[in-house]
Homo-oligomer: A and B are copies of this chain.
Amino acid sequence: MRVDEISNGSAVTSKADRKAQLAPLDASKLRITLTDALRVVPPPEEQVVGKSYTDHMLIVSYDPQTGWSDPEIKPYGPLSIDPACSVLQYGTSCFEGMKAYLGPDGKARLFRPDENMARLKRSAERLALPPFDEQEVLKLVKKLITVETRWIPALRGYSLYIRPTIIGTRPSIGVCASDHAILYVILSPTGPYFRTGSEGISLLALGDPVRSWPGGTGGHKVAPNYSPGFKSLEYAKELGYQQVLWLIGGKITEAGVMNFFAVLEREDGDLDVITPPLNGTILPGVTRASVIALAAAHPSRIILPGIPNTVCLHVHERELTMSNLTLWSAQGRLLEVFVSGTAAVVGGIGRIGFEGEDLLLHPYKDGRGPVARALFEYITDIQEGRTEWENWGVVCE
């Protein structure tokens, strides 16, 4: 018996009873309705994330009277949404970005999916969306992937992007938490995120508008973090940059929708790998955590390809400014700057525009410096099933 039951007596118990009677999200109740008109999978060169979607989607809804519905895999199609719904009026939505890869054994693999599920749960809680067992969601994601395995491109660097989404569907403009929800998962085949040449990715550093703030939602993967940045992205593109590098009070936070890293050469021959700390303004990226773990494991536990085993990578989570980068670059110490994210995995930065000047970084083949390239190769080896590491690759069976 919990403390609130002891202190508040039967009223609380009956509320708890009522909550206990609500149906939980239960993957074992999945119903599958397959389409009778399978689409042609587009050729690899047309596989850009968000351009096409697979034949089926997963959907399950929450009602405050009955709880979670039976999950359903059914043909991809539009949702019917009341115009007064919370998601349309108040941005009540959170999501995840994951990928399924085809291994050499022909099996579909996910990359650290427990991390995405845990973050999805935290994001839903941040927006006061209904609770669920995230392991049940993972079972459903795996099932959807097995139904759609033919959509995973059998090419290095290609994968099936997975977008689990939870939207608040309370059909009222009253400004309060949504007690109705729909959880759905859609899939989009995708190739390399940035098809850049040796020039790398270009960023425009902007301090106003700002993307997130201490006490805001920047540390959660929620819809309200994104549309407020569209105007800045359009502005960056007009000036010839690919993404925005978001600053707060001069401090670097994220690059577009990716985490940011700088690599410095040290006098002792080792390398410092520096990334902004998780202070609530930065998304705790799964790829970011993987980069940090793998960099720290070299050379004691793994050897990253192309990085000598005499070189240690010292990871620092600390504040970074554009002034830091400019100074280090002028001193010849800035080996490389890179970004990490599910879509891009690890991508090299070529230049950063800031206050009318471009900070030009070392040019490298495909834009990635030695550390970014080593991490990109090691992580994609795990993702695509060529290497095993701490059970990060999870087969869908």
Using CB atoms and an 8 Å cutoff, list the residues of chain A in contact with chain B: 48-51, 53, 57, 76, 78-84, 86-93, 95, 125-128, 161, 163, 165, 167-168, 172-178, 184, 186, 188, 207-210, 213-217, 222-228, 230-231, 233-234, 256-257
5 inter-chain pairs at a CB distance below 8 angstroms, sorted by A residue, are A89-B226, A90-B226, A127-B230, A208-B214, A208-B215
| B residues in contact with A178, CB < 8 Å | 227, 230
In the complex with contacts A78-B81, A81-B78, A186-B83, A172-B51 CB distance below 8 A: yes
A215 touches B223 (CB 8 A): no
Chain B CB within 10 Å — which of A51, A79, A175, A225 has the most?
A175
In the complex with contacts A178-B230, A230-B128, A223-B91 CB distance below 8 A: yes
A177 touches B234 (CB 8 A): yes
Q: What is the CA–CA distance of A16 and B59 in the complex, to the nearest angstrom? A: 42
Q: What is the CA–CA distance of A51 and B172 in the complex, to the nearest angstrom? A: 7
Q: What is the CA–CA distance of A175 and B95 in the complex, to the nearest angstrom? A: 13
B177 touches A173 (CB 8 A): no
A216 touches B188 (CB 8 A): no
Looking at the assembled complex, report how far the CB atom of A340 sits from the nearest CB atom of chain B, in whole angstroms.
Answer: 16
Contact of A87 among B57, B88, B210, B225 (CB under 8 A): B88
Looking at the assembled complex, report how far the CB atom of A281 sits from the nearest CB atom of chain B, in whole angstroms.
Answer: 10
Looking at the assembled complex, report how far the CB atom of A288 sits from the nearest CB atom of chain B, in whole angstroms.
Answer: 17
A92 touches B224 (CB 8 A): no
| B residues in contact with A86, CB < 8 Å | 227
| B residues in contact with A225, CB < 8 Å | 91, 224
| B residues in contact with A126, CB < 8 Å | 228, 231
- Which residue of chain B lies nearest to A168 when distances are taken between CB atoms in the complex? B227
A92 touches B222 (CB 8 A): no
Contact of A207 among B91, B215, B223 (CB under 8 A): B215
| B residues in contact with A214, CB < 8 Å | 208, 210
Looking at the assembled complex, report how far the CB atom of A307 sits from the nearest CB atom of chain B, in whole angstroms.
Answer: 31
| B residues in contact with A165, CB < 8 Å | 83, 88-89
B84 touches A50 (CB 8 A): yes
B91 touches A224 (CB 8 A): yes
| B residues in contact with A175, CB < 8 Å | 226, 233, 256-257
Q: What is the CA–CA distance of A311 and B322 in the complex, to the nearest angstrom? A: 55
B88 touches A50 (CB 8 A): no
A88 touches B93 (CB 8 A): yes
B223 touches A176 (CB 8 A): no
A80 touches B80 (CB 8 A): yes
Looking at the assembled complex, report how far the CB atom of A283 sits from the nearest CB atom of chain B, in whole angstroms.
Answer: 12
